[in-house]
Amino acid sequence: MVNIGIVGSGKGSNCRAILQSIRDGKLDAKATVVISDVLEAPILQIAGEFGVPNAYLPPGHFRTRLEPIVEEQLVEMLRNAGAEVVVLAGFMRVLKEPMLEAFPRQIINIHPSLLPKFPGLEAWKQALAANDKWTGVTVHYVDAQVDHGDIILQREVPILPGDTPESLHARIQAVEHELYPEALAQVFRDMGRS
């Protein structure tokens, strides 16, 4: 069993999918903590529903990243919880050296496109604007670049005629909820832990 720490900023739908996979015995892991940089984020309530300790981490003054001292606090919180793998579930800040050095090749992210296409925010809108026929979901290791790093798993999602940003995003999220637990299981196998 692998201890994971989940870090997110929002609704927590991927967090819920992962915690449900653990509860259903499909993912050999234990979520030891859920941390959010947003005080009222639903992800914290989801953690509570599943009986997972959760915490709010005040992010500091920067908009797109944590202040260095705050990122050190995040490292400490995850270490204190015994997290071996850090799972980003809608975390809207770029991680820097403190986290990358503390958890080398142990931070996993999910992104709503077929990376390297459409990194950044609202990738499904980027795919629609490009008139692509396909987009998808990528689970990858986190490195120093945004939405970059070795790919663990990808799955395609068709862009249908008449798709709106909302309809496409909903279909992408449905795939995310299946793919993220699958990708984590693969990571754990690669670690020799499943």
pLDDT digits (tens, 9 = 90+) for 119-173: 999 999 999 999 999 999 999 999 999 999 999 999 999 999 999 999 999 999 9
End-to-end CA distance of the chain: 7
pLDDT of residue 170: 97
Instruction: Check pLDDT > 70 for residue 40.
Output: yes
Q: What is the rounded average pLDDT for all residues in the chain?
A: 96
Question: Does 63 score more than 80 pLDDT?
Answer: yes
Percent of the chain scoring above 70 in pLDDT: 99
* Domain ranges (residues) in the chain: 2-109+139-154+177-190
Report helix, strand or coil for 29: strand
The span from the CA of 68 to the CA of 139, in Å, is: 26
DSSP 3-state assignment of 31? Answer: strand
Phi, psi of 183 (to 5 degrees): -65, -40
**pLDDT tens digit sequence for 87-108:** 999 999 999 999 999 999 999 9
Task: Give the pLDDT band of residue 194 (cuts 50, 70, 90).
Answer: low
Task: Name the E strands within 20-150.
Answer: 29-36, 54-56, 85-88, 107-111, 134-141
Query: What confidence score (pLDDT) does residue 192 get?
Result: 87
Respond yes or no: is residue 148 known to be catalytic: no
Active-site residue, from 111, 140, 169, 177: 111
Domain formed by 2-109+139-154+177-190, architecture:
3-Layer(aba) Sandwich (3.40)
Residues contacting residue 106 through CB under 8 Å, at least 6 positions apart: 84, 85, 86
Answer yes or no: is pLDDT of 193 > 80: no
> What pLDDT is attached to residue 87?
98
What local confidence, expressed as pLDDT, does residue 72 receive?
Answer: 97
Residue 42, pLDDT above cutoff 90: yes
Of the candidates 56, 69, 61, 78, the one whose C-alpha atom is nearest the C-alpha of residue 98 is 69
> pTM (2 decimals)?
0.96
